[in-house]
Copies of this chain bind each other. A is one copy, B any other.
């Protein structure tokens, strides 16, 4: 392999911001009585390390680990094959490596030794076990590690890291504003991509290409629902259906720039929509407005649900059963908290979130609206360009 040369690409957010993230994590570790945390997931590992590892997220062959102790320098336990990519994109210099693939031992002995060297106060190390954790190591290896690290206890740190990530820095908000702007512009120009009779599959291909060419990195998520007078699905891929006069459709997309997501949808009518569809749209537009206004520090995610639900119910509709009306947003398409009655997460200034009311109407139709915002004392500050007051009408 080529000799490793010095780093070309500077850490995306600057050394100080990564250091600040680590310090916040350490304060949370002290509170949670943890001597260290180990993160492996796509949102969490680069959040602290700044490492960009496309292969890590798409190929399940090799695991990647970052150990952040409460005291002392962070340690990366990664495959040799990723050394160059790590050194080029991460500020963390303590690498401990092994030759992978090696299913018999994918770095577990190095991890156990690393844990053993950490000053032991609480005898507990946090791993991503809890809600929303999707590991980049196998569950079997995690269970083996749990046995190997005894007497050190494996505790959960999922929510600890999620809460840190909930509040964004200026640079992170700029990332999210950038991708929200790109996608907002593409939605506004969708009429140029549309022609009557185009299939839902072709339309979403064109829109994805357009979003890329406007500067996005990826569009991991794009779904479309369509039907005469309205759609009945809010989270399904295209089915090859032709879009024609009388249809109402919605496209929802999670697109990414610099590993930060936008997540919002827009509604379109092919030709003039029915009064029934327009009334549903108007109600959801106002419910969204109520959600945006309520996005102030001190309010809870349950308050965001209630603000949206009130408008929907006051207009004579039932609240939908998707289970929530928006959520946190950041390095994953969806993040905690959930805007639902039993989630009492207190909103914090500079947290970023989605407002996402939906309702059922007509004969088996559903409709959804969504915007992305930053929580501020004056209410939500939009990252997206607000959906038009009336539904976009495409030429039939």
Contact = CB atoms under 8 A, between A and B. Distances in A.
B338 A101 contact: yes
Given A5-B364, A131-B138, A209-B209, A54 B101 contact: no
Contact of A58 (B129, B333, B340): B333
Contact of A2 (B136, B138, B360): B360
A113 interface: no
Interface stretch (A214-222, A268-276, A292-300): A214-222
Interface stretch (A17-25, A75-83, A242-250, A279-287): A75-83
24 contacts: A1-B321, A2-B366, A3-B364, A5-B232, A53-B235, A54-B237, A60-B334, A61-B336, A81-B235, A82-B235, A84-B232, A101-B131, A103-B130, A128-B138, A128-B139, A129-B140, A130-B140, A133-B140, A134-B134, A139-B139, A139-B142, A205-B213, A209-B209, A209-B212
A58 B236 contact: no
A55 B142 CA distance: 26
B142 A88 contact: no
Interface in A331-363: 332-334, 336, 338, 340, 360
Nearest to A333: B58
Given A1-B321, A61-B338, A233 B156 contact: no
- Interface size class of chain A, counting residues whose CB lies under 8 Å from the partner chain: 35 or more
Nearest to A43: B60
A254 interface: yes
A116 interface: no
